[in-house]
Amino acid sequence: MAQRKTDRVKQVIQAEAKERSWEKEVKARRSTVSLTVRIKEDDAELLPGYFRKQGQTVSQGLRAILNNFIDNRIRGMM
């Protein structure tokens, strides 16, 4: 019984490792870029409050959105 649990845990860990292997690719492909972001006037009023609720500055929140977008695009190319 204990062996089954151990085997199951190993399988879960291996599956998670396979899912996360793309992260190494993403980190290897990232580089620093300059970016200008245009935000609709209505959204510009809402975003600071939204990010503040999450404990982020506007800059941190926009960076998180951009990084998520880049990660998804790179993951889609693989």
* Domain range list for the chain: 2-77
pLDDT of residue 31: 66
Residue 48: both structure tokens together: 């600071």
Which residue matches tokens 């793309």? Answer: 22
Residue 69: both structure tokens together: 């977008």
| Tens-digit pLDDT profile for residues 38-76 | 888 888 788 888 888 889 888 888 888 888 888 887 777
Q: What's the rounded mean pLDDT across residues 25-44? A: 72
Q: What's the rounded mean pLDDT across residues 24-44? A: 72
**Has residue 22 got a pLDDT over 80?**
no
Length of the chain: 78
List Cβ neighbours of 17 (8 Å cut-off, separation of 6 or more): none
